[in-house]
Amino acid sequence: MRILSVCSKEEVYRHWEQVDRFKNCPHVAVWRKRIWSPLPADIRWYNAEIEDEDLKRIFIISSDEWCCLSRTFKLMDVAGEVAKRADNEIVCRIHDLIGRFKENPESLDRKLTMVSPSFEGNFTVIDGNKRAVVLHSIGELAGNRIYLGISEKIVDYRWAERAMSDPNTAKNLYDAAHTN
């Protein structure tokens, strides 16, 4: 992940609010608060750019709605499943977004929000999961600019639990390096 600059929590939140339009939709605001509220207090936010080598370390949010598409929650695995299927609401929505993006690339907000315990990953998309699958599916995720929140405490963040349970995560590497 290439770090471009530091940014504020307020900037990230404003973007999230703008993309999801949750001022006008109270049930979306409640759902987003469930994601935002438990973020660690010490999280630091950055503008960053996804690099090719990051793709294998990006996970979608650990949410039940994605369980039907992947056991790993890895973005690459989910995108692979979406390419093969059209049998549920979330897959159909992603296919619709891919079609809309191909017709009009400006129709899709490309700025995602991810969190990680370190700059090396693993990275969890906490806003823009469907958009991330779309961008990956059409080969345009690398080079994309995102918001990246970094805190060592992300390893205990509920919405990133699938990324943190992967054997190659920073938490497992950290634990292995600090045992003895």
Residue 151 structural domain: 2-177
Residues 6+ away with beta carbon under 8 Å from 47: 3, 4, 5, 6, 7, 145, 146, 147, 148
The identity of residue 179, as a single letter, is T
Other CB atoms within 10 A of residue 100 CB: 13
What's the angle, vertex CA 32, arms to CA 30 and CA 34, rounded to 5?
75
Can you list the residues of the chain whose pLDDT is less than 50? 167-180
- No. of helices (H) and no. of strands (E), the chain: 7, 6
pLDDT value of position 169: 43
Report DSSP state, residue 66. Answer: G
Q: Give the count of domains, the chain.
A: 1
The identity of residue 59, as a single letter, is F
pLDDT value of position 166: 52
Mean pLDDT of the chain: 80
Cβ pair 59, 69 in contact under 8 A: no
